[in-house]
Amino acid sequence: MIEVRGVGQRVDGGRRTLRDVSLTIGSGELVAIIGGSGAGKTTLLDAIAGIRPPAEGEVRYDGDGTGKGGGNGRGLGYVPQDDIVHLEMPLRRTLRYAAGLRLPAGTPADRAGRAVDAVLEALALTGRAGQRVGSLSGGERKRASIAVELLTRPRVFFLDEPTSGLDPATAADLMRLLRGLADSGTTVVLTTHHPPDAAACDQVAVLALDGTLAFYGPPGAAREAFQADGIEDIYVRLAGAGEPHDWASRFGGAQDGGVRESGVQESGGRESGGGEGGSEAAGDAAGAPAGAFAQWALLTRRNLDLMTRNRLTLAVLGGSPLMVLAMFAVLFRPGAFSPESPSPGATVMILFWIAFGGFFFGLTYGLPQICAELPVLRRERLAGLRIGPYVLAKVAVLLPLLAVVDALMLGVLRGLDRLPALGWRTYGELLATLLLCSLAALALGLLVSAAVTDAVQATMALPMLCFPQVLFVGAILPVPVMAAPGRWLSFAMSNRWAFEGLGHTLGVERLWASGRSPLGPPLLGSYGDTFSRAAAVDWALLAGFTVIFLVVTGLILVRRTPNAP
């Protein structure tokens, strides 16, 4: 049972979108939230589901007051209005990954496969199983989105406009499926604009345009209360009923005690559906959900799968380092590090741009990762996904790629004599510094990606993140020469520690002091002891940045996604 008591919601700016909504949803009921466009249906659904907890009032599940249903990670299913499954992946594979997250730990592969086949069949999608989700029709995608949640049998199932974009026959089939789920014990709450959907439900919540609950009770009683021939007439009555706040008293349904007493039995809905489909499709939700390591492994596989499927992304990920390398090759002359004829100014720039390259690729690989996926994450959090494995699965896929890019950068610059001939040990140390630099930047990219709302904002953040890492690193203007606030800021630049670590390993102090260039000693004078610290200290600092950025990323995501029930 779900009890909604005095629930109100406000949006940014303080405007009220829901006002004092109280209603009780019985276990195994099929409930429709209806009302005009913008009345607050999604807002109410999200408040009840815990997606956006209400600003006022409370939602109690089974009287526990936690606002969370279930009792395990798979107690609650949520299907939002928009398509939020990965578009590049074939449908069956999407469902296999979803099954891995949602089915109990240790479910054998063939059993998961059967659960996937069953939902495909129940939602008439078997013929589309091999098709890319992005190439499905709108209605098929909607059903695919529902299929994900039907892999398990959630105790409570929320759907935002599940029948929008479906033809009447498919919509009726879907309602029959939901009826079947409800009959087998799942509480189903949905929003809809389709009168036949509401007529097939046990209860309808009618929202007036100001977010007031105008009525709550069985559809038959709603028609009586509004003196409407059909559900569609309710909209007409609401439109001509004066001030929104009068509606509740006028139609007498604002308090769920009132009309509800006329009883669930009055509902015409129970007769309308067969419902076996729902029972067949739903898998067995009993058993412990997948553990943190299993989630991490599954998400890592899925990330890799998604990355390799999107050729354009792969081309950008692989192509941009090659372009940057080509630019380095035409910009710098060979032999800048040669002790016989060093070029101290060029050595600073080579060091700086290598460090910045490592930083830039880490940042740009991280920035698009989470923002575009946040709706998927929200939904999977309700299914029991943990934030730690989610964030670490991003790192697991991108870090090896960054290692290749960094090694390539050092190898090619060495091969072209832009870097000096030193032993493997030196190059191992350089690679460690550069990879830690990339890792810290990747973590920063993930942090920003978790904080913004879309890919456009993430892209706009790029210059803001890069500029300080150029200006305050201490390469173009040495740290000892900076104004005091700039010097303080330079401590917060992860890139600074990579630049200095690289310089230490390559022995630039010695090269400038004793190399045969008159420019060396004055340069050393202005850079001071910039390069004297052991690289291990810089590694520790870079690792510290990484940990801080990843922890903050996790905290932001915990705040932005509902807790797993």
Ligand X SMILES: Nc1ncnc2c1ncn2[C@@H]1O[C@H](COP(=O)(O)OP(=O)(O)OP(=O)(O)O)[C@@H](O)[C@H]1O
Among 12, 110, 261, 271, binds ligand X (CB under 6 A): 12
Among 23, 29, 41, 116, binds ligand X (CB under 6 A): 41
What is the number of H-type helices and E-type strands within the chain? 24, 9
Among 7, 31, 39, 395, binds ligand X (CB under 6 A): 39
Task: With CB under 6 A as the rule, give the number of residues binding ligand X.
Answer: 12
Choice between 41 and 102, CB closer to ligand X: 41
364-381 per-residue burial string, b: 16 or more CB within 10 A, e: under 16: bbbbbbbbebbebbbbbb
Kindly write down the DSSP assignment for every residue of 510-552, as one continuous string: HHHHHSS-TTHHHHHHHHTTTT-S-HHHHHHHHHHHHHHHHHH
Q: Which stretch binds ligand X (CB under 6 A): 39-47, 67-75, 181-189, 243-251?
A: 39-47
**CA nearest 139: which of 177, 170, 96, 94?**
170
Q: C-alpha 384: how far from its chain's center?
A: 14
C-alpha–C-alpha distance, residues 394 and 211, integer Å: 40
Q: In angstroms, what is the minimal distance from the CB of 187 to ligand X?
A: 20
Q: In angstroms, what is the minimal distance from the CB of 510 to ligand X?
A: 59
Q: Which residues pair with 32 in a beta bridge?
A: 190, 204
Choice between 38 and 230, CB closer to ligand X: 38
- Residue ranges in 525-564 that form contacts with ligand X under rule CB under 6 A: none
Q: In angstroms, what is the minimal distance from the CB of 470 to ligand X?
A: 36
- 303 sits near ligand X (criterion: CB under 6 A): no
Q: In angstroms, what is the minimal distance from the CB of 209 to ligand X?
A: 9
Q: In angstroms, what is the minimal distance from the CB of 193 to ligand X?
A: 6
Among 30, 35, 179, 382, binds ligand X (CB under 6 A): 35
**CA nearest 121: which of 280, 315, 340?**
280
Choice between 196 and 468, CB closer to ligand X: 196
**CA nearest 347: which of 198, 475, 530, 482?**
475
Q: Which stretch binds ligand X (CB under 6 A): 11-19, 416-424, 427-435, 555-563?
A: 11-19
Among 14, 37, 333, 424, binds ligand X (CB under 6 A): 37
Choice between 19 and 381, CB closer to ligand X: 19
Choice between 41 and 128, CB closer to ligand X: 41
Q: Which stretch binds ligand X (CB under 6 A): 41-49, 213-221, 309-317, 552-560?
A: 41-49
Residue with tokens 């059993």: 111
Q: Which stretch binds ligand X (CB under 6 A): 37-45, 64-72, 339-347, 496-504?
A: 37-45
The torsion angles phi and psi of 476, rounded to 5 degrees, stand at -70, -45
Q: Which residues pair with 187 in a beta bridge?
A: 156
- 102 sits near ligand X (criterion: CB under 6 A): no
- Residue ranges in 398-417 that form contacts with ligand X under rule CB under 6 A: none
- Residue ranges in 132-191 that form contacts with ligand X under rule CB under 6 A: 191
Q: In angstroms, what is the minimal distance from the CB of 308 to ligand X?
A: 35
- 17 sits near ligand X (criterion: CB under 6 A): yes
**CA nearest 184: which of 95, 270, 103, 78?**
270
3-class SS letters over 200-269 = CCCEEEEECCCCEEEEEECHHHHHHHCCCCCHHHHHHHHHCCCCHHHHHHHHCCCCCHHHHCCCHHHCCH
Residue with tokens 């230490």: 504
Contact 418, 332 (CB under 8 A): yes
Among 40, 283, 362, 366, binds ligand X (CB under 6 A): 40
Query: 10 Å Cβ neighbour count for 172?
Result: 18
Choice between 80 and 344, CB closer to ligand X: 80
Q: Which stretch binds ligand X (CB under 6 A): 32-40, 298-306, 353-361, 394-402?
A: 32-40
- Residue ranges in 181-210 that form contacts with ligand X under rule CB under 6 A: 191
Q: Which residues contact 325 (CB under 8 A, 6 or more apart)?
A: 408, 409, 412, 413
Q: Which residues contact 223 (CB under 8 A, 6 or more apart)?
A: 229, 230, 231, 233, 234
Q: Which residues contact 15 (CB under 8 A, 6 or more apart)?
A: none
- 43 sits near ligand X (criterion: CB under 6 A): yes
- 260 sits near ligand X (criterion: CB under 6 A): no
Residue type, 246: D
Q: In angstroms, what is the minimal distance from the CB of 202 to ligand X?
A: 21
- Residue ranges in 441-480 that form contacts with ligand X under rule CB under 6 A: none
Query: 10 Å Cβ neighbour count for 414?
Result: 15
**CA nearest 158: which of 86, 73, 55, 51?**
51
Choice between 16 and 111, CB closer to ligand X: 16
Choice between 21 and 524, CB closer to ligand X: 21
Among 6, 26, 27, 38, binds ligand X (CB under 6 A): 38
Q: Which stretch binds ligand X (CB under 6 A): 31-39, 274-282, 300-308, 542-550?
A: 31-39
Site residues (CB under 6 A) for ligand X?
11-12, 17, 35, 37-43, 191
